[in-house]
Chains A and B, each alone.
Chain A
Amino acid sequence: MTPLLSVQGITKHYGAHIGCADVSFDLYPGEVMGIVGESGSGKSTLLNCMAGHLVPDAGQVVFDTRADGPKDTVTMSEPERRMLGRTDWAFVHQHARDGLRMGVSAGGNVGERLMAVGERHYGDIRGKATDWLERVEIDAARVDDRPTTFSGGMQQRLQIARNLVTGPRLVFMDEPTGGLDVSVQARLLDLLRGLVRDMGLSAIIVTHDLAVVRLLADRLMVMKSGRVVEAGLTDQVLDDPQHAYSQLLVSSVLQV
């Protein structure tokens, strides 16, 4: 089987400081990979390098495109990479405001991505937008309201709807449940899990919440000072961590 995403030797420096160094892994269709580590360990840098938001100093991010098969997205042309970002890729930001247009209605936020891939029929676009609002448990009656009138949890769910409406194959998520209260987190996790299974999505989730990765991710990478110190099956890394830093990370979680 061809990996959906094959990351090889990704390195990014900020001047003399290491952002992330020599990260390599393969992600297969339907797999969810978690990346954990303390603040400043390089997980967001890595995510942004993979998603094309940052240009890595070295390395390849090979994506199995629908049209041409495996292709290095770091060296592909800007329009091509942007097209991927609108179609097969999705990026869920930690702060919903970074991923939404706050001045446009909820329906418009979802519909915009559809129009970007060529949909023109207003009725169809509105219909799909309403359907997606319901799938992420936002009342369809709110379709014409702006996201500024939504709660934090609703904004996050709207962002997810906007990202998934075009049926992407790979979703990048940066702390998708960060900053939400726990009951909303649980609801969002349940939603994400169902979507991943039903749509056969692959996802890469950056978080510092070990409970989130245990429930969502099949595989886990632990990062420290820009490097991957341990990788493996999620439950194996959490229950039998091998590296000193992973052991510290797992044993530092407060029990409730």
Chain B
Amino acid sequence: MIELKDVSKTFTLHNQGSAVIEVISDVSFHVAPGECVGLTGASGAGKSTLMRMIYGNYLTQSGSICIGDLDIVQAEPREIIALRREVLGYVSQFLRVVPRVPTLDVVADPLRALGVPADDAQARAKDLLAQLNIPQRLWSLSPTTFSGGEQQRVNIARGFAHAYPAMLLDEPTASLDATNREVVLSLIEGAKTRGAAIIGIFHDEAARARVCDREIDVSVFTPGLTSGSEAVGQPRESAA
């Protein structure tokens, strides 16, 4: 379902002396339907970067990333937009929403975008919000004012509203208490059972051991890794 071949990525910082940072090189692996693969490696190894490349959020310099039949690296923007709507879901670490929109609509939005009638979409949204223990009195309010953990759960509800055949999960259990962590893990297990191909980043080792079938250590693909912060980090090589 998800197949990466010889994928490489560099960042060029034009306004900082044209520093060139090699983040990741020659990544190849594949994820089958119903399989969950965990990305591991120290902070700065490029886990989130790799995930964002698979989502088409970061541009990939070389190689191919195929989701189903579509190669993200070569695809037109409109093909990626359609892919994200129908095939590829992504639960990021942060919730990003239009201010003022009620939580229920935020969660129902991915279904509405697929043309699901408003009532059905809202019913699914209510079901997920209830499962994730978001109090009903908050459903009509915008999630922008919620606590970190509540926002994270709204984000997860939104990510699981549609049964995507492929999913990317960036730390879905971070900042959650034991009860909600359990709910999220069972949602992931449910997605696997229905045949979704999943790539996840979990710092929570017990969670990783429970849902992941395989682990891929991203540091192997990181040229000259010592340490640094996530994604951009410190320039490791300069071509200026």
Contact = CB atoms under 8 A, between A and B. Distances in A.
A232 interface: yes
B209 to A, nearest CB: 31
A244 B81 CA distance: 25
Interface in B146-192: none
A117 B80 CA distance: 37
B100 to A, nearest CB: 5
B112 A232 contact: no
B77 interface: yes
B145 interface: no
Nearest to A233: B77
Contact of A193 (B12, B59, B77, B98): B98
Given A186-B99, A236-B56, A244 B77 contact: no
Interface residues of A, number: 24
A148 interface: no
A244 B100 contact: no
B13 interface: yes
Categorize the interface residue count of chain B.
20 to 34
B70 interface: no
Contacts of B58: 236, 239-240
B83 to A, nearest CB: 11
Contacts of B77: 218-219, 232-233
Of the candidates A233, A235, A244, the one having the most CB atoms from chain B within 10 angstroms of its own CB is A233
A185 to B, nearest CB: 9
B98 A236 contact: no
Interface string A187-201: 101100100010000
B98 A190 contact: yes
Contacts of B96: 214
Contacts of A214: 96
Interface in B2-26: 11-15
Given A247-B15, A251-B15, A190 B99 contact: yes
A181 to B, nearest CB: 13
A96 B159 CA distance: 38
Contact of B80 (A189, A233, A243, A251): A233
Interface string B78-113: 101100000000000000101111000000000011
Contacts of A243: 14
Interface of A: 28, 31, 186-187, 189-190, 193, 197, 214-215, 218-219, 232-233, 235-236, 239-240, 242-244, 247-248, 251
Interface of B: 11-15, 52, 56-59, 77-78, 80-81, 96, 98-101, 112-113
16 contacts: A31-B81, A187-B100, A189-B98, A190-B101, A197-B112, A215-B98, A219-B78, A219-B81, A236-B57, A240-B11, A240-B52, A240-B57, A240-B58, A244-B15, A248-B14, A251-B15
Given A190-B99, A233-B56, A243-B14, 6 more contacts: A186-B98, A189-B99, A197-B113, A218-B81, A247-B13, A248-B14
